[in-house]
Chains A and B, each alone.
Chain A
Amino acid sequence: MRYQFMTAALAVTTALSFAGPAAATDLEVTHWWTSGGEAAAVAEFAKAFDATGNHWVDGAIAGSGGTARPIMISRITGGDPMGATQFNHGRQAEELVQAGLMRDLTDLATRDRWAEIVQPKSLLDGCTLDGKIYCVPVNIHSWQWLWLSNAAFEKAGVPVPKNWNEYVAAAPALEKAGIIPLALGGQPWQSSGAFDVLLTAVGGTDAFLKVYRDKDADFAAGPEVAKVFKAADDARKMAKNTNVQDWNQATNLVISGNAGGQIMGDWAQGEFQVAGQTAGKDYTCLPGLGLNEVIATGGDAFYFPLLQDAEKSKAQEALAETLLDPNTQVAFNLKKGSLPVRGDIDLKAANDCMKKGLDILAKGSVMPWTDQLLSQDTQKQKEDLFSEFFAKPDMTVEEAQKRFADIVASAD
């Protein structure tokens, strides 16, 4: 597939370079979008970028952000920068920007009035450091979704739950029917993310901000967060039979009806789409686990390493424009299952779940996510804790909460 696509892309570029005097500039773009839905979405970017007379050289790195980011960072710090690279906007690339390795896009942003077109505003904040803009947000991804398989609940003979509490109550029935109540992949970021979602849903937005933004360790050790750990304990029991690693394998368990549901970001929607399932009929989505309907304005953004080559620098600008182009935004986000970063475009083709997301966005119920609030170091410690917690049934809730409070106390 990829070769076919590359050949096609190559053919388009060749045709274009014959047509116009502007020579095609190759720009390598690295990203970690490799699952079915993701690859289809990124192909939209490549198509649009190639249409500008340049050439998108696909640098996909398999194995999710955890594997890809070290490779990207090593290349940038090691003096072999790519033309553009994906990061989650926020603090992942903070030090690279501070070290002057990333290109300042402020001029371009002022010219194209990004401040006006990018909605919600906090997205651009994630790209801004000391008043300068360093990245182009391309989508909004929120973690706070619960994906439920309608078929699984039908088989278990219980109605599809409307929130987390009903879901927990339905777990025994699912288990009796031979269905894994909750699918949770073994990669550490998944357990850590699931906990953060529970923190927002069960504890509330304020609790989330108190812990991660204000780094209030006493609060993290207190009774309100204890409730969240109780919920995490429920989730741990429900997920104990999942023997898969990758998030999309876990999503696949839900798609095939072998698992009741999954707590996963809205990128999971791309997988449901690729599998040909319809929102509302085959699967149900509950933003904020049906308890607290907010959208975290995390997401993906493209950063542009500072290059010496004038041609490539020009191509970088062309790419930045392409990424924010209304048509590209629609095409990309529909395939990706994420929400667009522009408020002024029409998403008629959006499905049920995306519409729910757009509604919440329109209401302004947005909040920052951990990528913006915590350093990678703190995130990694959190991941270590929760991957241990979810894999070890005999780890007590009290012990986990104590260690969590320690991490919050030393967080930066």
Chain B
Amino acid sequence: MSKSERPNQLFRNLNAKVASIPMVLTALVIFVGGSAWTVLYSFTNSKLLPRLNFVGLDQYYRLWSTPRWLVSIENLLVYGVLSLVFSLVIGFILAALLDQKIRFEDTFRTIFLYPFALSFIVTGLVWQWLLNPEFGIQGVVRGLGWESFSFDPLYNSEIVIYGILIAALWQGTGLIMCLMLAGLRGIDEDIWKAARVDGIPTLKTYLFIIIPMMRPVFITALVIIAAGIVKVYDLVVAQTSGGPGIASEVPAKYVYDYMFFAQNLGQGFAASTMMLLSVVVVIVPWAYLEFGGKKHV
């Protein structure tokens, strides 16, 4: 290939570019356009129908002085941090255990991955029953003789968010485990041999050699988990509908309730803009580091 005759960049791979036009348009019009529209209307006092009647930051002031929104944010933080940590840790440990050339690996893998085939609604209902004090785990243990045994997270405002976390982990860790397993399988056998020759203990090999090598897998898992965290809604609706009281409310539910139930679009848009902002704050620096840096290498 001679450099002087380099073809016009615009027309290289023309077929591929034409083929991607629909997706580009979707992304621009629906995602970017829709987001911009939402942000714009969050500065209005739109009620049931969108109206361009600007009220400045009023919706945001109201949002941040609403106890229910603050509870939602707190819940999202607790749920987010814990589900991120536990998904990654449990997913990795399960994958590492499965990677020990055990018997019936396929069976275990299927069992662990199965919950992921269920929707959050079904997961929520199943765990609502399991955690029901009269019929669920508490009822069974009491039936076995431990009369004072108490385990009813869904009816206790203080710990209800952990009840939801349990259901989310049960549903989601299987997928993370599979991703991790694929990552572990991608590690060259020679690395393990080399580590063994150097006399490095297995645990240390995992922590200091394997995990750093699996960075791309961890990033993928991180993005998948994080996206799931911000949009968590159906699980809460199915399990507790935000209760008891407002103890397990989450931001996405606030957005829905205020947009449709309270017929206050402005307030709902303000809340969804805050959600978008929180995602942007996390994603942009990461994307910059991940993709921006590579060009210089």
Taking Cβ atoms with an 8 Å cutoff, the residues of A that contact B are 66, 69-70, 73-74, 77, 92, 94-96, 99, 186-188, 243, 245, 375-377, 379-381, 384, 387-392, 403, 410
Contacts and interface: CB of A to CB of B under 8 A. Distances in A.
Contacts of A390: 245
Nearest to B262: A380
Contacts of B67: 384, 388, 403
Contacts, number: 79
Contacts of B247: 388, 391-392
Given A187-B241, A387-B246, A391-B247, A69 B261 contact: yes
Contact of A388 (B47, B49, B245): B245
A379 B47 CA distance: 14
Given A384-B68, A384-B246, A391-B244, A243 B133 contact: yes
B243 A377 contact: no
Contacts of B244: 186, 391-392
Interface string B261-288: 1111001000000000000000000000
A70 B260 contact: yes
Contact of B243 (A69, A73, A186): A186
Given A243-B133, A380-B257, A73 B48 contact: yes
Nearest to A92: B263
A187 B240 CA distance: 10
Contacts of A73: 48, 260, 263
12 contacts: A73-B260, A73-B263, A95-B263, A186-B243, A376-B262, A377-B47, A377-B262, A380-B261, A381-B66, A384-B68, A388-B67, A391-B246
Nearest to B247: A391
B134 interface: yes
A interface majority secondary structure: helix
B interface majority secondary structure: loop
A92 B47 CA distance: 12
A99 B47 CA distance: 12
B261 A77 contact: no
Contacts of B133: 243
Contacts of A69: 260-261
Nearest to B47: A95
B49 A99 contact: yes
Interface string B224-254: 0000000000000000011111110000000
B47 A392 contact: no
A70 B243 contact: no
A243 B134 contact: yes
B262 A379 contact: yes
B192 interface: no
What 4 pairs between A and B have smallest CB-CB spacing?
A: A391-B245, A70-B260, A380-B262, A95-B48
B241 A77 contact: no
Nearest to B240: A186
Nearest to A96: B48
A377 B245 contact: no
B155 interface: yes
B57 to A, nearest CB: 16
Interface in B95-132: none
A319 B156 CA distance: 48
Nearest to A395: B245
B256 to A, nearest CB: 8
Nearest to A94: B48
Given A95-B49, A375-B47, A381-B262, 4 more contacts: A96-B48, A377-B258, A380-B258, A384-B66
Specify which of A73, A376, A379, A403 lies most central, judged by the most chain B CB atoms within 10 Å of its CB: A376
B150 interface: no
Contacts of A96: 48
B134 A377 contact: no
Nearest to B244: A391
Nearest to A95: B48
Nearest to A191: B245
Nearest to A243: B155
B261 A376 contact: yes
A76 to B, nearest CB: 10
A375 B134 CA distance: 39
A79 B34 CA distance: 19
A376 B263 CA distance: 6
Nearest to B48: A95
Contacts of B243: 186, 245, 387, 391
Contacts of A188: 242
Contacts of A377: 47, 258, 262-264, 267
A387 B245 contact: yes
A319 B136 CA distance: 47
B264 A245 contact: no
Contacts of A410: 62
B157 interface: yes
Contact of A375 (B66, B68, B260, B263): B263
Contacts of B241: 186-187, 245
B261 A66 contact: yes
Interface in B35-87: 47-49, 62, 66-68
Contacts of A99: 48-49
Nearest to B50: A77
A407 B61 CA distance: 14
B287 to A, nearest CB: 34
Contacts of B256: 70
A101 B243 CA distance: 35
Contacts of A391: 157, 243-247
Contacts of B134: 243
B245 A389 contact: yes
A122 to B, nearest CB: 23
A377 B263 CA distance: 6
A284 to B, nearest CB: 28
B159 to A, nearest CB: 13
Contacts of A92: 263
A77 B47 CA distance: 13
B292 to A, nearest CB: 41
A146 to B, nearest CB: 23
A346 B48 CA distance: 40
A240 to B, nearest CB: 10
A285 B68 CA distance: 35
